[in-house]
Amino acid sequence: MSINRALETLRGGNFVLVHDASNRENEVDMVIAAASVKPRHVATMRQDAGGLICVALHPKVAGNFDLPYLTEIYGAASHRYGVLTSTKPNDLPYDERSAFSISVNHRRTFTGITDVDRALTISELGRLGGKALNGSMVDEFGRNFRSPGHVPLLRAADGGLRKRRGHTELVIALAELAGVTPVVAICEMLDARTGKALSWKAASKYAGERGLVCLRGDEIVRAYEGRGG
């Protein structure tokens, strides 16, 4: 089964491709466990996917890092900066809210944008995220990361797939099923020919040529809802 291959692939530190749904963003993201990320993985996401390289975090991890949603920060500061009210994302065509939190660089990076720098930031998020499953890590998070930075963080919804079925929640569920730390690097796959998101057909062809697994979101949902049953 594709889901079993995907779990083995994620455990092995390699990429899995995940499509959310045709009635949602209708995008395929390249995903990999954050703790496994090396500079070559960042280069692959940058060159072969081309979207925004982000890190999705389990809500428990995000909570123990004390990470807010970016919209919450904007709301708190809107009394001083009116532009934060006027640009409120209340008209998303595919969702009710954005998963974006703050962006970070690891404190040992230079500019933060190079493949080496982003790999360090992402892999250290994975390492520290494993510890954050067990309790508050706010102080250690601050000792390791500065903000703003070049790696946007995505906070999965409390309740996970029961509350929201975006790529953020899908890949966190996939990580949980695989038994890896639920901190996952993701990047949208784009199509330079059409100027749009890469189609499922094209993404499947890419996966087939490289021996990768291409999953639909509903496959993850079924496996997650059926775990232990």
Chain segment 96-112, per-residue pLDDT in tens: 778 999 999 999 999 99
Query: Annotated catalytic, 105?
Result: yes
Domain count, the chain: 1
CA of 4: how far to CAs of 167, 174, 207, 209, in Å?
Answer: 19, 10, 16, 19
Task: Determine the average pLDDT of the residues in 117-143.
Answer: 98
Chain segment 183-205, per-residue pLDDT in tens: 999 999 999 999 999 999 999 99
User: What rounded mean pLDDT belongs to the chain?
Assistant: 95
Query: Annotated catalytic, 91?
Result: no
Residue of 19, 25, 27, 105 marked active site? 105
Instruction: Provide, rounded to the nearest whole percent, the portion of the chain with pLDDT above 70.
Output: 99
Query: Annotated catalytic, 150?
Result: yes
Residue of 117, 124, 188, 219 marked active site? 188
Confidence of residue 219 (pLDDT cuts 50, 70, 90): very high
**What whole-number distance in Å separates Cα of residue 229 and Cα of residue 220?**
15
Residue of 19, 27, 41, 54 marked active site? 54
- pLDDT tops 90 at residue 95: no
Chain segment 41-94, per-residue pLDDT in tens: 999 999 999 999 999 999 999 999 999 999 999 999 999 999 999 999 989 888
182 touches 57 (CB < 8 A): yes
Q: Which pLDDT score is estimated for 197? A: 97
Instruction: Provide, rounded to the nearest whole percent, the portion of the chain with pLDDT above 90.
Output: 90
Indicate which CATH number applies to the domain containing 43.
3.90.870.10
**What whole-number distance in Å separates Cα of residue 182 and Cα of residue 188?**
19
57 touches 156 (CB < 8 A): yes
**What whole-number distance in Å separates Cα of residue 175 and Cα of residue 117?**
24
Global confidence as pTM: 0.96
Helices 167-178 and 2-11, packing angle to 10 deg: 80
Q: Which pLDDT score is estimated for 29? A: 98
Task: Determine the average pLDDT of the residues in 155-169.
Answer: 93
Label residue 86 left, alpha or beta by phi (over 0 means left) and psi (-120 to 50 means alpha): alpha
**Which residue carries 């993701």 as its tokens?**
186
Domain range for residue 123? 2-225
Query: Annotated catalytic, 29?
Result: yes
- What are the residues facing 104 on neighbouring strands? 151
Residue of 4, 66, 94, 218 marked active site? 94
